Structure 1
Amino acid sequence: MTSPCSPQFAPVGDVGTALMMIDSRLKSIHDTEGTSDPEQQALLEQFTASMGPEEADDVLDGACTLIYMFMMWLRQAHEEHDKDVVEYVVPNLVATMRMMPKSIRPEAIPTMAGLVIAAGTGLSPTLWRKQYGEWTDVEMNPLEATAFLLAEHINRIAGDKDFATRMIAEALSVSDEA
């Protein structure tokens, strides 16, 4: 039976912009000099400030698509070792978010955990979240952090600091060719 939260019913959104934002964060973390590029950060902030409501919604949907794609990769990787992705990814994600109280308010953590569980069980994070109303301002940083933390987790598993970004970029280029 098909769920109304199945990915086939979900908008894909602006995955490219969401990926650019996550990639920028990943690069700033792995900067060998220990400093993020202030010019790049200013450009990213200027870009996001120039978005209208419709573009912002597209980026939100794109971030949810990234979370879904990351969880599908993690699910496959865990199943190859007879492990449950939810059991191994969600507690780690929640523990990390709890250590980030300046960026992630505690009341947003259950929503992000639910979003990741939905994605890990094959549901669209976008449609799962929409059941509970519109996105709130409090959820914006946690949503970005969720996508970032999943990408970083994938990169650690793969032993390649650019693996998650490259994986999505390759999937996007294949879908563009089709």
Structure 2
Amino acid sequence: MPSSYDPQYAPAGDVDAALMVIDSRLKAIHEGKTKTDPEQRLLMDQFLSSLGPGGAHDLLDGACTLIYMFMTWLRKAYEDHDKDVIEYVVPDLVATLRTMSRSVRPEAVPTMAGMVIAAGIGLSPSLWRKQFGAWTKEEMNPLEATALLLAEHINRLTGDHDYATRLVTNALSRADQD
């Protein structure tokens, strides 16, 4: 019997927009920009405010879909080497999130770890999170950071700065063809 948190019951959200946000952050990091360019931040803020409440929820669901897709890829990659994705991804993710104290509040770290674990065992991160109530403003940066860190983990494993983005883009293209 499938779980009520099975991804088939979850809205995919706006994966394109979520991927755009993550990809722009990844590119900034690889260009050596450790701080967000004020102009880039303004453009991102304008984009996010243009989404409206429904669009913001779609973006959140899209970010959760990215987390699910990234963890699914990582699970398969680690299983190919007889390793457990939870053991190899979650401790590093938690440690990194804890070092990001200016943008990730400590109380958000367990939630992000729980979402990643849920995704790692095949559950929908958005449905898993929903059981605890509505998203809070304080969880927005940690959610973005979690998706970003998972994408960067994939990129490091593959040795390709754009692999995670291409992974999702290719999956979306295949879905559009079907």
The residue identity in structure 2 corresponding to 1:136 is T
**In 1, Cα distance between the equivalents of 2:145 and 2:156?**
16
- Cα shift readout 1:16-39 (whole Å, capped 9, x = no counterpart): 000000000000000157776554
Determine if contact 1:29/1:36 at 8 Å carries over to the other structure.
no
Cα displacement (A) at 1:176 = 1.1
**TM-score (norm. length: structure 1):** 0.96
Identity score, percent = 67
Show the counterpart of 2:98. 98
**In 2, Cα distance between the equivalents of 1:37 and 1:29?**
11
**In 2, Cα distance between the equivalents of 1:172 and 1:89?**
24
Query: After TM superposition, which residue ranges in structure 1, 4 or more long, deviate above 6 angstroms?
Result: none
Cα displacement (A) at 1:173 = 1.1
The residue identity in structure 1 corresponding to 2:75 is R
Alignment partner of 1:27 is 2:50: no
**In 2, Cα distance between the equivalents of 1:32 and 1:67?**
24
Question: What is the RMSD computed on CA atoms of the aligned residues?
Answer: 1.4
Q: Between Structure 1 and Structure 2, how many residues are aligned? A: 178
**In 2, Cα distance between the equivalents of 1:32 and 1:124?**
33
> Per the alignment, in what secondary structure is the counterpart of residue 127 of structure 1?
helix
Alignment partner of 1:112 is 2:145: no
CA pair 104-36 structure 1, distance change in 2 beyond 3 A:
closer
> Per the alignment, in what secondary structure is the counterpart of residue 175 of structure 1?
helix
CA pair 173-103 structure 1, distance change in 2 beyond 3 A:
same
**In 2, Cα distance between the equivalents of 1:54 and 1:19?**
18
Show the counterpart of 1:14. 14
Cα displacement (A) at 1:47 = 0.5
CA pair 34-131 structure 1, distance change in 2 beyond 3 A:
closer
Q: Which moved more, 1:119-128 or 1:25-34?
A: 25-34
**In 2, Cα distance between the equivalents of 1:60 and 1:71?**
17
- Cα shift readout 1:24-59 (whole Å, capped 9, x = no counterpart): 000000015777655444322211122211100000
The residue identity in structure 1 corresponding to 2:165 is T
**In 1, Cα distance between the equivalents of 2:118 and 2:33?**
37
Give unmatched runs, 5+ long, in structure 2: none
Show the counterpart of 2:61. 61
Show the counterpart of 1:121. 121
